[in-house]
Amino acid sequence: MVVEVKTTCKVEDVLWHLDKLARFKETFGEYSDWNVQGALAAMRFDEESDRYAYRNGLWVLRCENGITGIANDKNFQPRIF
């Protein structure tokens, strides 16, 4: 799991993380045989970036009232990088 953490997440942050995940195994060859998943954690999601991340196969972690939880529903299918 490769997690990007933001105070406020925007769509451009999701795009940046997706790009980073696409190149992850090039940079870290020791993980070339691993099934890598991505996640975004934020206090606040602007521009419906949480929905955009979900639709692109990323786990969405919300921090509300000091508790971090997974926002994805039971039908979520994570993208493998």
Residues 5-24, mean pLDDT to the nearest whole number: 97
pTM: 0.92
Residue 5 pLDDT grade (very low, low, confident, very high; cuts 50, 70, 90): very high
**What whole-number distance in Å separates Cα of residue 10 and Cα of residue 63?**
16
Question: What is the per-residue pLDDT across 17-40, written as a single tens digit (0 to 9) for each?
Answer: 999 999 999 999 999 999 999 999
The reported pLDDT for the residue numbered 80 is 98
Pick the closest to residue 72 from 40, 34, 24, 46 (CA basis). 40
Domains of the chain, residue spans: 2-70
Return the number of other C-beta atoms located less than 10 Å from residue 63's C-beta. 14
Question: Over 90: is that where the pLDDT of 68 sits?
Answer: no
Residues 45-52, mean pLDDT to the nearest whole number: 97
State how far the alpha carbon of 77 is from the alpha carbons of 8, 11, 61, 64, in Å: 24, 20, 15, 24
